[in-house]
Chain A
Amino acid sequence: MPDDAHRSAAVSTRRMTFAQGLLEAQAIALEQDPSVYLMGLGAPDPKGIFGTTSGLLQRFGPERVQDMPLSENAMTGVAVGSAITGMRPILTHQRVDFALVAMEQMVNQAAKWFFMFGGQVPVPLTIRMIVGRGWGQGPQHSQSLQAWFAHVPGLKVVMPATPADAKGLLLSAIEDDNPVICLEHRWLYGLADEVPEGPYRVPLGKARLMHGGGGKAEVTLVGLSYMSLEALRAAEILAEQGIEAEVIDLRSVRPLDEATILDSVARTGRLVVADTAHVRFGAGAEVVSLVVEQAFDKLKAAPVRIGLPDFPTPTSKALSDSYYPRAPHLVAAALKLLGRPVDPELFAVPEGRNLDQPDSSFTGPF
């Protein structure tokens, strides 16, 4: 059965957006723990990191909610230094791409301090970074670098796909005593759904079976971040053709929830993994390797990876429309695994639908 604990009657929920879920997690963390502080370029500004920090300055004051100099590497070091001396910082970057100048502090320092000093020095640090898609994000405002971070022992990496997970994973990340990278997809910010009240937590390292699981499914679709929603759409399209799919939202890239993936593939025998990143050397490859190494005998066909082609992201709408994979790509992959024909009409874009925005409410610039 889909794992939707928060939808059970026992938990009271409200409808809110993904961005509001992130905001609420931070507000709760700031409220419950005086060592938590939030820092980022523009964190307290009127736009409030796309609404994810709005009002926090007014509520918690300028010491707890700080802007910062345009010095991502040093400020990551400052966050590390404060984390090892008793604080619990949340650092936000408006794009992953901007944080690349801070790879040294994230990879050599934050990830290593606990290990390299023999377990004496935890680094309770959360780094929020935003990933984009379409609308001119282009080569330097959109990179999905989860594989880079997940490659590094000592870091944890989460990628929420729903408003409830945005809240629950971010709160767990902040409360965790390790450096956690939270990669947030810009296209999810406006997504609204039921979100539990209070200090709702989603465990790090637990994937979620979003759809299916009744036993008749013939294919497993694993999604990361926004691609989990495309995977859900793909499952709907497949259902129309009489094919049942299980959809797993990975939620955490590291630690990787191996059991949930392996269990599903054991039932279905077929695997499609959809990543927001380049296919090659990506997180999808890790999921496929896991299954091939540990459940080879369960596979009825070779697994398929879906993701970005081997080019930097182009800016022009014309180029980017064909660049990003969508639900039809997952459907086609599943059909091929099942030896079924693929109707090219599948890829037709409905009248009035723009591929470079999640829906018509999403307008630039951003």
Chain B
Amino acid sequence: MTSASAASAGSAAALANGPDPELLWRLYRLMLYVRLVEEKIVALYPEQQMRCPVHLSIGQEAPAAGVAAALRPGDQAMSGHRSHGHYLAMDADLDGMFAEIYGKAPGCARGRGGSMHLIDRAKGFLGAVPIVGSTIPIAAGAAFTSKLRGDGKVTVIYLGDGAAETGVFHETLNFAALKKLPLLFVCENNLYSVYSPMEVRQPLGRPIAGIARAHGVATWEGDGNDAVAVWQMASEAVEACRAGHGPAFLELATYRWREHCGPNFDNDIGYRTVEEYETWRARDPLARHKALLQDRLGADDAAFAALEGELQARIDAAVAKAKAAAFPVDTLSPEDCYA
């Protein structure tokens, strides 16, 4: 496997040998689904019934969609604090997610976790935790199991640019390369760790993918707001992982629209400029993909409206269920703590 920089892998090139109409629609559906779920959270959060932190990925939907579309059933994914999109794109349980955010008994973690602790093992979403970096080696452990058992699964670990500064990130790259683990690192570089910009955290001119390359890991760098490009890169990377070439690494440039934690915009507090935000906003991964569907497939408004209506109905139903669900029994027992 040679190290490939796919920065130039634009939609046109990808289309030439790749995504059929069905896939193009699938990518859009996944992104719209994530967007609508999170916008629902935005709308309802002020009710103060979702009593846990929420880290929204609005503006960053393309990596989750493009990567998930490159996986096959049985493959696995893990994530960190900003995991809604990664979870949803694996077709993980929406009812369980909303119930979990509302702290209800049928939550995917039975109300023990909240928004930052999503899990749906049946769908291969092995878990997300909010200690930045911590799931990186745990995902490597899952890939290690696959390696030991030869089960053919690929495990995806989603991480941010900030997570690339943790010790375990570097340690895990080394181990994954050493053992040729079927592990795909997907680094969503959204330029910030909370309010801290890249220039106070990482050396200028050194891409995060460069760290992976230094460990002998094959890398792809590209536009994280272009779902087709992401799918293309992820497809190549997943194939390499599955073929036994060892871990692969994607660095995807993207941008978080809303505040680090919570439902609001925070461009006014002074850590980033409105101009920067507007530049990225204009690169909306959904608007862009919608235009592609219109241009390439002649998709009409009715088709988009039908899709949105279907997804919205599903989301509304999940919210209603979660709101109506019972809270967990309010006492804990040793059985909660030990298997």
Contact = CB atoms under 8 A, between A and B. Distances in A.
A75 B111 contact: no
Contacts of B144: 78, 81-82, 87
A29 interface: no
Interface in B307-339: 335-339
A73 B110 contact: no
A12 interface: no
B338 A80 contact: no
Interface in A102-147: 104-105, 108-109, 113-124
Interface stretch (B168-176, B222-230, B283-291): B168-176
Interface in B86-133: 107-113, 117, 119, 121, 126-127, 129, 131
B107 A109 contact: no
Contacts of B335: 119
Greatest chain B CB density within 10 A among A74, A105, A177, A178 is at A74
Interface in B61-75: none
Contacts of A73: 137, 167-168, 171
A18 interface: no
B254 to A, nearest CB: 25
Given A87-B145, A108-B131, A71 B174 contact: yes
B148 interface: yes
A74 B107 contact: no
Nearest to A79: B141
A153 B337 CA distance: 7
Interface in B153-205: 167-168, 171-172, 174-175, 178
> Is chain B's binding surface mostly helix, strand, loop or mixed?
helix
10 contacts: A69-B178, A74-B167, A74-B175, A77-B137, A80-B138, A82-B142, A82-B144, A85-B145, A86-B145, A115-B112
A122 to B, nearest CB: 4
B141 A78 contact: yes
Contact of A177 (B127, B131, B339): B339
A59 B285 CA distance: 55
Contacts of A177: 339
B265 to A, nearest CB: 30
A306 interface: no
Chain A: interface size category: 35 or more
B134 A109 contact: yes
B136 interface: yes
B148 A87 contact: yes
A63 interface: yes
Given A81-B144, A120-B121, A115 B337 contact: yes
A53 interface: no
A105 B137 contact: yes
A84 interface: yes
Interface of B: 76, 107-113, 117, 119, 121, 126-127, 129, 131, 134-146, 148-149, 167-168, 171-172, 174-175, 178, 335-339
A101 B111 CA distance: 30
Greatest chain B CB density within 10 A among A76, A83, A119 is at A119
Contacts of A117: 108-109, 112-113, 117, 119, 127
Given A75-B137, A79-B141, A178 B119 contact: no
A249 B126 CA distance: 40
Contact of B141 (A82, A104, A115, A178): A82
Contacts of B337: 114-115, 153-154
Contacts of A118: 107-113
Nearest to A80: B138
Contacts of B108: 117-118
Nearest to B100: A118
State the 7 A-B residue pairs at the shortest beta-carbon distance, nearest first: A81-B141, A77-B137, A118-B110, A74-B171, A71-B171, A122-B339, A81-B138
Contact of A104 (B76, B127, B134, B146): B134
Greatest chain B CB density within 10 A among A63, A113, A123, A178 is at A113
Contact of A119 (B131, B146, B171, B336): B336
A189 interface: no
A324 interface: no
A137 B149 CA distance: 40
B178 A84 contact: no
A80 B145 contact: no
Contact of B172 (A74, A85, A101): A74
Given A117-B112, A118-B112, A119-B335, 15 more contacts: A69-B171, A69-B175, A71-B172, A73-B167, A77-B140, A77-B168, A78-B141, A78-B144, A82-B145, A84-B126, A114-B339, A116-B112, A117-B127, A123-B339, A177-B339
A85 B110 contact: no
Nearest to A154: B337
